Amino acid sequence: MTADMHIINRRAIEALRSGVPNRYAVEALGCQQPTIQERFLAQLRATNEGLSSEEQSTGLLVVGDFGTGKSHLLEHLNHIALDQNFVCSKLVISKETPLHDPVKLYRSAASVAVAPMKCGSAFTELAWKLDTNAEAFARLEGWVTSMGARLNSRFAASLLLFKKGDEEMVQRMISFWSGEPLGGGDVRRDLRACGERPYRIEKARVKDLAIQRFLFAPRLMIAAGYAGWVLFIDEVELIGRYSPLQRAKSYVELARLFGRLGEQQFPGLTTVFAIMSNFEAEVLEEKNDLEDLPAKVRDKGLDELAKHAQVGMRILRKEKVGLSAPDADTISRTRDEVRAIYAQAYGWEPQKYEEERTLASTVMREHVRTWINEWDLKRLYPEYSPATEVHQLTSGYAEDADLEGASGDGSEHPAPT
C-alpha cells in the first residue's frame, strides 16, 4: 500500500470516528439510501430540463435522528452532483449562516462553492471559463436583458464590465457575483473608463440583491459550461431556536430555495435540506408554529411573510423523506468495510472476537464509533476487553438569540449623480 493510500485511509477512519464525514469516508463506504439517491438523480435531471421553461426543480428535504447518516448522505449526494457537472455548496446552518438571512446565506454559499474537478473559489474558476465571445455568453446577456425589473441593472453592467474592463474591474465583478457590494457610482465610473455610456443604476436593498443573485448565479455557471448549482443545507433544525419572527423568515427562505414561492423561481438551482426528525413535533406542534406563528406575524402587519412562512411549514410537514434504518446485514457489511479501512490505516488487522457484538441500535454512528474505539483499545492494549455504553443525548429547541446573527437586509444605494 502506498503512503498516499495510508493517509487516505487514516483520514477516513478519523472522519468516521468524529462523526463528520469527509470525501474519503464516503468514497470508502458509499451510501445505503438508494431510494433517496434515485430521487436526487431525478432532481438533477429536472434542474436541466427546467431551464427551457424557466422553472426550478423542487428541492429535497431529508429527515433523520442524530447519527443516522444525514451528513454522510449529503456528502454522497454532493459527489454525485459534482460528477454530473454541477457546482456545489455545502452549508451548515449556524450563527454565521442563518437561514432567515438571504444575504449571509448567499455569501456563505458563494464562498464554499466548489466546481467539478477544481479547487478554490468556484466563482473565480467559472470566471476563467467564461468566453465573452461565445454564444453561451451572448445568451446570458440576452437572458439578463429579458429579466427586466426582476434583475437590478448592476447585473447587466457587471457582464459588460467583465467583457470590456481591465483586470481590476473584472475582479470587482467577480466579487459582486460572490455577494460583495457594488456601488452605483463605481459602476458608472467603470463604464466611462471602458468608453461606454453610463446609465442609471437603481437603488437596491441588500436583501433584494441577494435574492437576485440566487437567480443570476446559476445562469452564470451554465454560461461557463456547468450544469447548474446545488445547495446542500444541513442542520436546518437550528431554526427552531430562533425567535418567532426569525423562524417565520426561515420558513420563507426554505420555501423560496425549495422552489415553492410562485414566480420567485431560480431555474438552474436546486437544493437538499437535512433536518432532525423531531423538529415537526417539537417546533411545528409543541411550539404551535403551525397556528400561532402566522397570527403573530400578521399582527406585525406582515401578511405576505405569514403567507409564505406557511408554505415553508407545509414543506416541513408534508414533503420530508426519511432515511431508511440499517438492517442487520447492512450493519454487518459496514463493519467489515470499516475493519478493512482500519487495517489499512494502522497496519493492524482487527480480529473478530466474541465481544464484537451488535448494539441494540439502528443508529449507524453508534456502531461505527464503537467499532473504532474498541479496535483502538485492542490494538494498544491487547489483553484488554473493551465494553461500550451508549447514552442518548437530546437537544432542545429553547430560543437562543445568539444563533440568529445580525440582519443583513440593509440597502445598497448608488452614489449621487
Report whether pLDDT(108) > 90: yes
Neighbours of 54 (CB within 10 A): 12
> What's the pLDDT tens digit per position in 133-164?
999 999 999 999 999 889 999 999 999 999 99
Predicted pLDDT at 414: 41
Report whether pLDDT(313) > 80: yes
> What's the pLDDT tens digit per position in 197-249?
888 899 989 999 999 999 999 999 999 999 999 999 999 999 999 999 999 99
Average pLDDT over residues 383-395: 74
Q: Which of 220, 260, 348, 269 is nearest to 48 (CA)?
A: 269
C-beta of residue 349 within 8 angstroms of C-beta of residue 337: no
Q: 1 falls in which pLDDT band (50, 70, 90)? A: low
pTM of the model: 0.88
Report whether pLDDT(3) > 70: no
- At 193, the amino acid letter reads A
> What's the pLDDT tens digit per position in 240-263?
999 999 999 999 999 999 999 988
Angle at 152 between CA 150 and CA 155, to 5 degrees: 110
Distance (Å, whole) CA 321 – CA 336: 28
Report whether pLDDT(354) > 50: no
C-beta of residue 197 within 8 angstroms of C-beta of residue 205: no
Predicted pLDDT at 67: 73
Percent share of the chain, pLDDT over 90: 61
Average pLDDT over residues 262-281: 94
Report whether pLDDT(183) > 80: yes
Which stretch, 22-31, 290-299, 395-404, has highest mean pLDDT?
290-299
Average pLDDT over residues 361-366: 73
> What's the pLDDT tens digit per position in 28-53?
777 889 999 999 999 999 999 888 88
Predicted pLDDT at 360: 57
Average pLDDT over residues 187-204: 90
Predicted pLDDT at 15: 82
Predicted pLDDT at 256: 97
**What values do phi and psi take at 276, rounded to 5?**
-65, 145
C-beta of residue 211 within 8 angstroms of C-beta of residue 256: yes
Residue with the bigger pLDDT between 416 and 292: it is 292
Domains of the chain: 33-125+224-322 (3.40.50), 131-221 (no CATH)
Report whether pLDDT(361) > 70: no
- Quote the mean pLDDT of the chain: 89
Residue with the bigger pLDDT between 412 and 407: it is 407
Q: 385 falls in which pLDDT band (50, 70, 90)? A: confident
Lowest-confidence region among 15-19, 365-369, 385-389, 408-412 = 408-412
Distance (Å, whole) CA 204 – CA 135: 30
Predicted pLDDT at 390: 73
What's the per-residue H, E or C state across the chain?
CCHHHHHHHHHHHHHHHHCCCCHHHHHHHCCCCHHHHHHHHHHHHHHHHCCCCCCCCCCEEEEECCCCCHHHHHHHHHHHHHHCCCEEEEEECCCCCCCCCHHHHHHHHHHHCECCCCCCCHHHHHHHHCCCCCHHHHHHHHHHHHHHHHCCHHHHHHHHHHHHCCHHHHHHHHHHHCCCCCCHHHHHHHHHHCCCCCCCCCCEEHHHHHHHHHHHHHHHHHHCCCCCEEEEEECHHHHHHCCHHHHHHHHHHHHHHHCCCCCCCCCCEEEEEEEECCHHHHHHHCCCHHHHHHHHHHHCCCHHHHHHHHHHHHHHHHCEEECCCCCHHHHHHHHHHHHHHHHHHHCCCCCCCCCCCCCCCCCHHHHHHHHHHHHHHHHHCCCCCCCCCCCCCCCCCCCCHHHCCCCCCCEECCCCC
Q: Which of 361, 397, 362, 401 is nearest to 281 (CA)?
A: 397
Neighbours of 340 (CB within 10 A): 14
Residue with the bigger pLDDT between 386 and 271: it is 271
Distance (Å, whole) CA 313 – CA 333: 38
Lowest-confidence region among 21-25, 30-34, 79-83, 111-115 = 21-25
